[in-house]
Amino acid sequence: MLMIRSTRKFPSLPYFWSLIDWSIPSLNPYKGQLLQAQSVDDLANIARKRTPKVVFDYVEGGAIDEIAYSRSRAAYSRIEINSRVLRDVSKIDTSEKILGKVVDIPICFAPTGYTRLMHHVGEPAVANVASNKNLIYALSTMGTTSPEELAAAVPNSRRWFQLYIMKNRSDSLAVIKQAKDNGFEALVLTVDTPVVGLRYRDNRNGLTVPPKIRINTVFAIARKPIWWLNLFTTGKLEFAAFRGWDKPLSELAGLIFDPATTMRDITWLRSVWKGPIIIKGIQSVEDAKAAAKLGVQGIILSNHGGRQFDRGPVPLEILPEVVKAVGNKVEIYIDGGIMSGLDALGAIALGAKAVFIGRAYLYGAMANGEAGVEQVIEIMRREFENGMALSGAANIAEVRKNGARIRN
């Protein structure tokens, strides 16, 4: 039997040269890794290499045994989005209205404390990405940039302000006034912190703000010199809303977190703030109903990213029931464990109006500052759009109509 053989030709030198990648390797050891990053997890691995262990662990870690966060991540992995075929998905529209205004994609930036600890530019870098991408950024009471500074740095951004009901109500009124005077659109009242959660990983690392210079810190500086140089040369690292505080963090937490806060305080908050109010930290259908009756505009189903109660409910698992109970009265958002565009898409398919990301964009900030935060959004947008097309949804309404389920 005759065998088929390929026809040999004299090698083509131009063709050979065309196969060679002539780009000059960068002297920056992380540039190639950033260019090759395909997922938020890839950026998290870069962030781990670029920041001190105490900083990375603060972002990655959770309360006690970190079970609540692990359960949240596992829940997102079990989402199965209903898919339809033979639908026109030649044009994908990811836009959605949040509090009556359109955002380009229903992925918002959650409030996170100590943001300048992750990257020296801090909160303004994240808010600038939000502004450029037509998204929403929520500034934390525990932020390292004040409401006034953020408004000056990124004047055209949609800014929400995260608030705690403090033991001394005049302290709450002072930060509310800062938000009002500087054009913040909404207040995000966090209600899942009657007391501070136990974070053993941070305790073992001796986390303080600013970081204390100890013997092991000297070795940390040697391993991450650029991070420390940025910290030392860009101003004092402190809580902007509490400038001048020189007592331990535990005492500050005792001032901020009021274990006597109740639903009545939401009524009080409505009397002193005339704009939209979002309640963050709802973890049951009953509390969602109670909050909705008080006339708030939205709730965020949240377990604080698994950083407070380590045996609490998984927000994603109660999302469909909450949407069914109060979704026609208030806007329902969700956070905690969202690390990809498909995670976000799944939550939207289950009924959420929008999702909030925290760890994901902090990994981007640690990996590459503002450009890293932008890369996180673009990665998630690509995954979100791709998932919409493959599930047969051309817009957000069709995503929700198709729906999803959480596999057992």
Q: Which amino acid is at 205?
A: N
Q: Which of the following is catalytic: 116, 120, 280, 304?
A: 304
Per the annotation, the verdict on 120 as an active-site residue is: no
The answer to whether residues 135 and 158 touch, using CB atoms and an 8 Å cutoff, is yes
| SS3 track for 44-88 | HHHHHHHCCHHHHHHHHCCCCCCHHHHHHHHHHHCEEECCCCCCC
As a whole number of angstroms, the distance between CA 279 and CA 173 comes to 17
Burial 198-233 (b: 16+ CB within 10 A, else e): ebebbeebebebebeeeeeeeebbeebeebbeebee
Query: What are residue 395's phi and psi, to 5 degrees?
Result: -150, 175
CA dihedral for 373, 376, 382, 388, sign (positive or negative): negative
The answer to whether residues 159 and 187 touch, using CB atoms and an 8 Å cutoff, is no
Tokens 């639903």 found at: 263
Pairing between β-strand 107-109 and β-strand 354-357 as defined by DSSP bridges? parallel
Question: Between the CA of residue 395 and those of 94, 130, 175, 389, 398, what are the distances in Å?
Answer: 6, 21, 38, 9, 5
Write out the H or E segment, with its range, that includes residue 293. helix 285-293
As a whole number of angstroms, the distance between CA 338 and CA 317 comes to 14
Q: Which amino acid is at 367?
A: A
As a whole number of angstroms, the distance between CA 120 and CA 114 comes to 10
Tell me the two tokens of residue 215: 């013997």
As a whole number of angstroms, the distance between CA 223 and CA 247 comes to 29
Q: Which amino acid is at 203?
A: N
> What interhelical angle do 285-293 and 315-326 show, nearest 10?
40
Active-site residue list: 304
